[in-house]
Structure 1
């Protein structure tokens, strides 16, 4: 597993006391040097988190486990004999919260599970917006700047990926989730506190993100790197498979709206930025095919696309 390094754990309740400045400095350092940090005392009720964990694991056993095993057989992964680098060892489903919820359309969810997920999603949405304003404060941006950029004309997009990483007989042969940076904005992760597996790449070493009960792991996506002009950076991370234990992962993504215009904040640019400007949906279309590759070529492609568009504006023609 990863190198032993002190991972940043931040007590959010200290923002309300004498240690506010120190806590803000810890958040800033984590964003600059890690791209990840772990929140405790974040305000999301622990009993809600416990219920979500229980129901997520029950849902997997009852409705997802058989499908996962069928997937393994269909892809020839039931018996791993050689290393696999184009498939992830995970069972997932997706919930959309914003701009319009699809919770009622998710199959096999109990009413109790749906209600809890709706409550959980709203609380994480509020926490994400609180964190964005804290980042603004640290960066010297006006309060609400990041939320305004993310809003576009239709509001932000917000959704949750519910994942289970079942035991793998040959963990050295396949990743639970291959290394990547996240495309979007701010990611809030409720992960299993008993089964580890999440790692990030720091200074050339893979470092474990420690399982910590009732914590929420925060990581920064590509959009925040662009908007902050590289002051904060998205970081490569992956999930290692384990021989024992089924790891639960509930990752919620607070992203810009599809038509949000993303560019480096002028306040953070001295002369000319190395980062591109683009519409978020255009970036997502590019990311879909390049997720498991380094982010820098994606940024360069978006920059080149903008330059080409400037040189060759699309001709318009009136039609009757």
Structure 2
């Protein structure tokens, strides 16, 4: 990995002062050249984030840790002696916010945690919509354009994947999460500030996403690449396992509604676009089987259904 690469960290509070133009330029550059950036001073209360971290880790110890160990045993990888390429060293559950919440259907979650997750979800939803409008401004799109596209006829979908990556005895043999691009729209990640592991692929090198306390990591999904006609990119990323420490990850996905019609914005296409037009749910049905494969064949398959036969499903993922 190149040592002189500086990961983009953006102070969102500077949008309200004399450095607004420079801050907007930093966001635009990160979207074009990284597909990732890290926000500080984003407006989400730090005490809320601290409570989410504490309760997430408590929930894992109480309700998930034993299930994770049983899963490892059931798959025969509790004692690693070979490289494993079809399983992730990851314990997860999903909180759905929009269009309907499942917070009160999740077993063994405390009422305190449910309340905190509900508030946290609303804060992240607002931040996601603010960022989409900032992207519109940078792209020369009318304000609200991206939110309108995402809305479809029934509103966007929004959910949080709560993950823990427990210590792994042989991290060289298995990934915490295999390399992939995200299918959806805008991803907002609250990650552990003590245990690292998240990396993105930048110019052929795997680059660490720095674990900063109280930051929110932003990355772009495939839908924003299509809508921006490739000006903004979704980027391959992965999570490495670690021998010590339990890494927490709370990733919230602000995605288009299932019936949202996705296509390149007309004002961003100087010529016929290489990107397809499709209904978001159709893309997700394809993605669910080929998440850990390159995105370009997925785009081609949405343009030309016959190309889908060249894709070999290798993974099943949650869709929301």
- TM superposition score category, shorter chain reference: over 0.9
What's the offset of the Cα at 1:307?
11
2:125 paired with 1:125? yes
2:137 corresponding residue in structure 1: 137
Q: Does the CA contact (< 8 Å) of 1:3 and 1:208 recur in 2?
A: no
Which is greater in Rg?
1
TM-score (normalised: structure 1): 0.95
Matches within 5 A, 1:156-195: 156-195=156-195
Q: How many residues align?
A: 307
Matches within 5 A, 1:287-306: 287-305=287-305
2:30 paired with 1:30? yes
1:255 corresponding residue in structure 2: 255
- Pick closer, same or farther for the CA change 1:221–1:273 going to 2, 3 Å: same
Q: Does the CA contact (< 8 Å) of 2:300 and 2:307 recur in 1?
A: no
- Pick closer, same or farther for the CA change 1:230–1:52 going to 2, 3 Å: same
2:115 corresponding residue in structure 1: 115
Q: Does the CA contact (< 8 Å) of 2:98 and 2:156 recur in 1?
A: yes
Q: Does the CA contact (< 8 Å) of 1:277 and 1:306 recur in 2?
A: no
Unaligned runs of 5+ in 2: 309-320
Q: Does the CA contact (< 8 Å) of 2:161 and 2:252 recur in 1?
A: yes
Q: Does the CA contact (< 8 Å) of 1:96 and 1:103 recur in 2?
A: yes
2:283 corresponding residue in structure 1: 283
Task: Return the alpha-carbon distance in structure 1 between the equivalents of residues 40 and 306 of structure 2.
Answer: 41
2:212 paired with 1:215? no
Q: Does the CA contact (< 8 Å) of 1:278 and 1:306 recur in 2?
A: no
Unaligned runs of 5+ in 1: 309-320
- Pick closer, same or farther for the CA change 1:307–1:192 going to 2, 3 Å: closer
1:81 corresponding residue in structure 2: 81
Q: Deviations over 1:247-302 (max 9, x none)?
A: 00000000000000000000000120000000000000000001000000000000
2:314 corresponding residue in structure 1: none
2:317 corresponding residue in structure 1: none
Task: Return the alpha-carbon distance in structure 2 between the equivalents of residues 120 and 3 of structure 1.
Answer: 35
Task: Return the alpha-carbon distance in structure 1 between the equivalents of residues 273 and 90 of structure 2.
Answer: 38
Task: Return the alpha-carbon distance in structure 2 between the equivalents of residues 292 and 211 of structure 1.
Answer: 24
* Structure 1 runs (4+) greater than 6 angstroms displaced: none
Q: Does the CA contact (< 8 Å) of 2:301 and 2:307 recur in 1?
A: no
What's the offset of the Cα at 1:3?
3.8
TM-score (normalised: structure 2): 0.95
1:90 corresponding residue in structure 2: 90
Q: Deviations over 1:27-48 (max 9, x none)?
A: 0000000000000000000000
What secondary structure is seen at the aligned counterpart in 2 of 1:175? Answer: coil
Task: Return the alpha-carbon distance in structure 2 between the equivalents of residues 196 and 246 of structure 1.
Answer: 10
Q: Does the CA contact (< 8 Å) of 2:38 and 2:216 recur in 1?
A: yes
1:235 corresponding residue in structure 2: 235
Task: Return the alpha-carbon distance in structure 1 between the equivalents of residues 229 and 283 of structure 2.
Answer: 16
Q: Does the CA contact (< 8 Å) of 1:3 and 1:205 recur in 2?
A: yes
What secondary structure is seen at the aligned counterpart in 2 of 1:225? Answer: helix
